[in-house]
Amino acid sequence: SLFGESLRVAPKSSLKVSRTKKFFFGDKM
């Protein structure tokens, strides 16, 4: 999935992952 790939692409960038999750899930989190 795109989400899983983004985690693999930037595993060290926890901030980026956090922003990516916010982008994908929006206000649901």
Collect all residues with Cβ–Cβ distance below 8 Å to 1 and sequence separation of at least 6. Answer: none
List pLDDT tens digits, range 3-29.
Answer: 666 666 655 667 777 777 787 777 654
- Residue 27: both structure tokens together: 């206000």
Distance CA 3, CA 28 (A): 15
What's the pTM value of the predicted model, to 2 decimals? Answer: 0.29
